[in-house]
Amino acid sequence: MKIPALIFLFIFPFYASAQSILFGDYEKGSKLYKNSCTSCHDSSVYTRKDRKINTINGLEKQVERCSNSLRTGYTDDQNGDIVKFLNDDYYKF
């Protein structure tokens, strides 16, 4: 009884963290992506073999960095929408 509970307590935070990011709005993320992200690069950065983003957490951080660099003023929710779009279309974490 104690071992399953410990396994749950160890694994759940990682699962919940990844899942919470994926609650973004795909359609809103798609529009935000087209309005901002494509001003610097095309989709080849997401599909190349040596892409630098290998985790959902890494994707979230990169979207935030790009948003800050472009001074978009996007909220955390809007960045989450972009993460949702990019993950569903390209990364599939």
pLDDT of residue 23: 84
Q: What is the pLDDT of residue 20?
A: 47
- pLDDT tens per residue, the chain (93 residues)? 566 665 666 665 555 445 444 689 999 999 999 999 999 989 999 999 998 999 999 999 999 999 999 999 999 999 999 999 999 999 999
Do residues 24 and 84 lie in contact, with contact meaning Cβ atoms separated by under 8 Å?
yes
pTM (2 decimals)?
0.75
What integer pLDDT is reported at residue 4 of this predicted model?
66
Q: How far is Cα 67 from Cα 61, in angstroms, rounded to an integer?
A: 10
